[in-house]
Amino acid sequence: MYERVRAIIPAPMLRLATMARRSYRLWRVRQRLAGMPEPEPGSQPVPPPRFLVDWLGIGGGDFGSIGRQFVGYLRDYCDVRDGASVLDVGCGLGRIAVPLAQHLGSEGTYMGIDISSEAIAWCRKTITPLYPNFRFQVSDIHNAAYNPKGRMSATGFTFPCADGALTCVFAISVFTHMRPAEVECYLEQIARVLRPTGKYLLTFFILNDESTRLIREGKAQFAFAHDVGGCWTANKAVPEAAIAYAEPDLRRMLADAGLDVVEPIRYGSWCGRGNYTSGQDMVIVRRT
Ligand SMILES: C[S@@+](CC[C@H](N)C(=O)[O-])C[C@H]1O[C@@H](n2cnc3c(N)ncnc32)[C@H](O)[C@@H]1O
């Protein structure tokens, strides 16, 4: 029914309706943030409302349990302990930051960076007052899915961290929305800010023999049917909605940035495989 109504509405009107809906949601987010009181000292950060999670496009599943799951991976695969200094690239609404706050202790330092001003406003309002060592920074970087009006390019971005300063860097469900030149720039930045013994946890959609077979069999969440130059997208209109890399290309990009994969890659369930660790493919990397 919805599709039939859409089909008879002229395209310019549909675009106008989409813009109006987006502006209304943005307004609701800003109203909600403006009206929120400072959190009580000693309380727990409030979880973001579902509409905000959906509006930003954080993904499905239980927000709290996915965050805790990733803190477990950071502890087990990247040795993130009490007192660690970490960078969360594309931190979103603090899904990882909140459970990590209990894990890092007051000696640890956390920096979350993102391109969504609403996401960073949420984190600053709900997390930093309770955990002052958790800081958040926004950059107005363009991304067709997450910040279509952004004025800067990800390809020239410098992370706000000193060389070799960090124990761990992670980017969860972020390179799944970025083009090759952007990923290459971020990998170089990650290599720059990490200590020689540090590790990164990165997630991707990886195309290899198994995932492409499962895509052909119709078992995958995304088909990644469109080649958009060095990567594949599931959405031709907004390629950044979901981007995948062929495994040899990804390995080459990592090697070019001076990074070694800590084997094995922990493949995800996104393509319908039965034996998986998480939803996306998880790659642990360290400096060569
Ligand atoms: C699917 S969400 C994941 C958020 C968070 N990592 C998590 O797991 O909850 C993708 C996030 O990446 C951010 N993002 C997209 N492009 C980015 C870029 N070039 N630099 C930093 N963040 C970016 C988006 O604004 C969004 O918050």
Say which CATH number the domain at 138 has: 3.40.50.150
Q: Determine the atom of ligand 1 nearest the C-alpha atom of 146.
A: 25
Do 23 and 155 lie in a common domain? no
Q: So what's the pLDDT on residue 56?
A: 83
Residues of the chain with pLDDT under 70: 1-7
Q: So what's the pLDDT on residue 19?
A: 74
- Host domain of residue 85: 42-287
| CB-defined site of ligand 1, < 6 Å | 56-59, 89-92, 95-96, 113-116, 119, 141, 143, 146, 154, 172-174, 177-178, 182
CA of 208 relative to ligand 1 center, distance in Å? 24
Q: So what's the pLDDT on residue 203?
A: 98
CA of 40 relative to ligand 1 center, distance in Å? 28
Do 230 and 128 lie in a common domain? yes
Do 228 and 134 lie in a common domain? yes
Q: Determine the atom of ligand 1 nearest the C-alpha atom of 147.
A: 25
Each residue's pLDDT tens digit, 28-48: 777 877 887 888 888 888 888
Do 233 and 273 lie in a common domain? yes
Do 136 and 19 lie in a common domain? no
Q: Determine the atom of ligand 1 nearest the C-alpha atom of 178.
A: 16
Q: So what's the pLDDT on residue 21?
A: 76
Do 31 and 47 lie in a common domain? no
How far are the Cα atoms of 11, 51, 207 from residue 24, in angstroms, in the given order? 20, 12, 37
Sheet holding 194-204, edge to edge: 134-138, 109-114, 85-89, 166-171, 194-204, 281-287, 259-261
Q: Whose CA is nearest to atom 2 of ligand 1?
A: 58
Q: So what's the pLDDT on residue 50?
A: 83
Count of domains in the chain? 2
Beta-carbon contacts of residue 284 (< 8 Å; ≥ 6 apart): 77, 78, 199, 200, 201, 202, 261, 262, 266
CA of 120 relative to ligand 1 center, distance in Å? 11
pTM of the model: 0.92
Q: Determine the atom of ligand 1 nearest the C-alpha atom of 172.
A: 6
Do 2 and 121 lie in a common domain? no
